[in-house]
Structure 1
Amino acid sequence: MKTSLFAATVIAASIATLASCKKNNDAPQYARAEAFWDANKVPTQSFTGNAASGFSIIGEKGTKVKFPANAFVDGNGNIVSGTVTVTLKEVLSKKDVLLSGVMTESNGQLLESGGEMLIKALKDGKDLQVNPALGDTGIKVEVPKVMNNKDMGLFVQQKRDQGQGGAGGGGQQPQNPTTWIPAPYYPFGNGPNSYSFTLPGFTWVNCDRFYSDPNPKTTVTVLPAFQDNNQVTDLQVILVFKNISTVITFPFNYSIQKFESYQNSLPIGSQAHLVLIGKDSDGFIQFGTQSITISANQHIDAPIHKATQAEVDAFLGSIQ
């Protein structure tokens, strides 16, 4: 049987195309940093309602917020009427905490979270405030107990106190300039299925408590061990605890040129995932993770490398 030159050419081209496709399919699909963060950031949900009569909203993860009549005032303290826009971010898992950047610590002390959220209100593109005249009868929030079911209290976000928790001492630079503090005067309800409270303001709030562990506390240092010859920026060193709903970052200590936990803040014997994540000069995710058991005065040389999307997704799926 004879094969024409044309047919042979077509067959050869087909084989080359299949080989090329196989080669491309086998190539690692590295994660682009910008696309990764866009796809995984905690979404901002948007609602509208009538400010004069009041209205309620329910978030995608079950957070309920009830706005009574005349709940909003503008920047001059005037009661707002008409249609307002309310936005909501729900942080109700350790994965959400990691991806939101709003970690569970208070001036260097560990917090155990039952859920965080950011509620804001706007009219005509301008930020509104909670009507202070409403007091305890103001905006009511219910947070489902999907992240935790322990007794909690209400915390609010504020600028970090540089004089506490080692946040500004010893050359440490906090990863986040804000921290959590207890809300001193807002009643808090621990129901069978939800936490409930009156919203103190349009800011980040947290159903939280200080984590108590009888074990001795220690300080841990981390030094990234880069596997690729590439400059890495926006680098974060994160600790995701396995048995409690706690996620923290390690500030960078310039005096020792290492990432370092807050002094004597980590319970010896606790188990956690150590996570390093950053962006290289080509725009790809640099990533590394390992399971650790915290020991006294521990130092970790932590590998970090250009990671595939599947690798990062697999880790995120394991810390729900």
Structure 2
Amino acid sequence: MKTNSTTITLPNDSKNVKQKMINFLLLGVSILLLTSCSSNDDNDIIVEQFLDGLELETEIIENREEALQTTILNAGGSGEVYGAEGTILYFPVNSFEDQNGNPVTGAVTIELIEIYDKAKMLLTRMPTNGKRPNGDVETLVSGGEFYINAKQNGEQLQLVNDFMLFAPADEFDEDMRIFNGQNNNCDGDEMQCDIVWEEDEQGGLEPIQREGPNGQGVSGYGGFISNFGWTNLDRWYNFEGPKTIAYADVPQGFDNTNSNVYISYDGEPTALALLDIYNPETGLFSEHYGLLPIGLEVHFIFVSVQDDQYVYAIQGATIGENHTEVIGTTTTGTEAELVALINDLP
């Protein structure tokens, strides 16, 4: 990422009429313009720049890949994996088999991603959107998100036994449960999937006190995991009172192909909802079922990547009935600057 920072203002169409792009390619002549044209009262022509969506998608995948940690274990014996942020995985003896059901021996590569804060959730597009059994999508408060996998010589392995996951925590919340990541919008590669979390009715968590890798005492959540892929420790966000739907009106030229909009819940360090519904007719982002609490203090976070830099806006708000948040002014800066701002949110 580039290191300079500037502030820009992109025009926001209050009627949500999105620009239409016309790309003229003249043979033998350089590409002239990528434009969106509209007329004002004086019939002036407004020219808008085409905004790319591939950079944002690429950045999300790269952030996931950069977060991936690998550890070598002996498949024939038991072993532990220690994550950089305190996660511990314990695999019993003979935990793995190949795709044909044959026991695996020798060196096995364990892959781990651990996510404990909002900034990393946003950079990897791993929000805390949870799906109820009836299909409603609501916000979760996370105790840690994890990608866990095992391979041998690049070949995918299968689990024979459940393994133990330990996630550090200062206090134990008895409402925390195990959630599994359900894949959307991908061809089976979980490193590139959009994830929504669904509760594992069979999985439970217990308070654990144990010795860490350096011999120090650590405490947190412990639970048995029966699948590879994405796992989340969560509780449902509880709020008494009326609820509503929330919308976000983003700057002109941006839509769901080149930007994301999140809602950060104030006072909850690990509650980050993605507005994953986009209406191309109105140009508005929204959430699913009108389940956002009225009176909730939040921050809307708009983010895109353009010309190898983050384009973002962070706006505080109190949710009102049928709330519409208009994102007008954006800032262009580095990933580190964006992360620092998110980490400073209440």
- Would you call these one fold, judging by a TM-score over 0.5? yes
Unaligned regions of 5+ residues in structure 2, if any?
8-54, 132-136, 185-192, 210-218
Question: What's the CA shift for 1:28?
Answer: 4.1
CA distance in structure 2 between the aligned counterparts of 1:97 and 1:313, rounded to whole angstroms: 11
Partner of 1:163: none
SS in 2 for 1:158: strand
SS in 2 for 1:201: coil
Q: 1:150 aligns with which of 136, 156, 173?
A: 173
SS in 2 for 1:225: coil
Query: What is the TM-score with the length of structure 2 in the denominator?
Result: 0.70
Instruction: Note if 1:127 corresponds to 2:156.
Output: yes
CA distance in structure 2 between the aligned counterparts of 1:177 and 1:80, rounded to whole angstroms: 31
SS in 1 for 2:67: coil
Question: What's the CA shift for 1:233?
Answer: 5.2
CA distance in structure 1 between the aligned counterparts of 2:78 and 2:238, rounded to whole angstroms: 40
Structure 2 letter corresponding to 1:208: D
Aligned residue pairs total 270
Partner of 2:47: none
Instruction: Note if 1:285 corresponds to 2:285.
Output: no
Q: 1:210 aligns with which of 236, 254, 270?
A: 236
1:188/1:196 contact within 8 Å kept: yes
SS in 1 for 2:250: strand
2:5/2:331 contact within 8 Å kept: no
Partner of 2:188: none
Question: What's the CA shift for 1:122?
Answer: 0.3
Structure 1 letter corresponding to 2:200: A
Unaligned regions of 5+ residues in structure 1, if any?
1-26, 161-175
Instruction: Note if 1:246 corresponds to 2:277.
Output: no
User: Percentage identity across aligned positions?
Assistant: 25
Q: 1:100 to 1:38 in 2, by over 3 A?
A: closer
Instruction: Note if 1:97 corresponds to 2:87.
Output: no
CA distance in structure 1 between the aligned counterparts of 2:59 and 2:342, rounded to whole angstroms: 12
CA distance in structure 1 between the aligned counterparts of 2:290 and 2:273, rounded to whole angstroms: 14
Flag the structure with larger Rg. Answer: 1
Cα deviation digits, residues 126-153 of structure 1 (max 9, x gap): 111111xx3xxx311111016x742201
Cα deviation digits, residues 158-182 of structure 1 (max 9, x gap): 146xxxxxxxxxxxxxxx7431111
List aligned pairs for 1:17-166, cutoff 5 A.
Answer: 28-29=4-5, 43-107=67-131, 108-131=137-160, 134=161, 138-145=162-169, 149-151=172-174, 152-159=176-183
2:90/2:165 contact within 8 Å kept: yes
Q: Kindly report the root-mean-square deviation, in angstroms, between the aligned alpha carbons of the 2 structures.
A: 2.9
Query: What is the TM-score with the length of structure 1 in the denominator?
Result: 0.76
Identify which of structures 1 and 2 has the higher relative contact order when contacts are C-alpha pairs closer than 8 Å and 6+ apart.
2
CA distance in structure 2 between the aligned counterparts of 1:279 and 1:93, rounded to whole angstroms: 21
Partner of 1:299: 324
Cα deviation digits, residues 59-84 of structure 1 (max 9, x gap): 11111111111001111122111100
Structure 2 letter corresponding to 1:141: L
Q: 1:43 to 1:311 in 2, by over 3 A?
A: closer
Structure 1 letter corresponding to 2:173: K
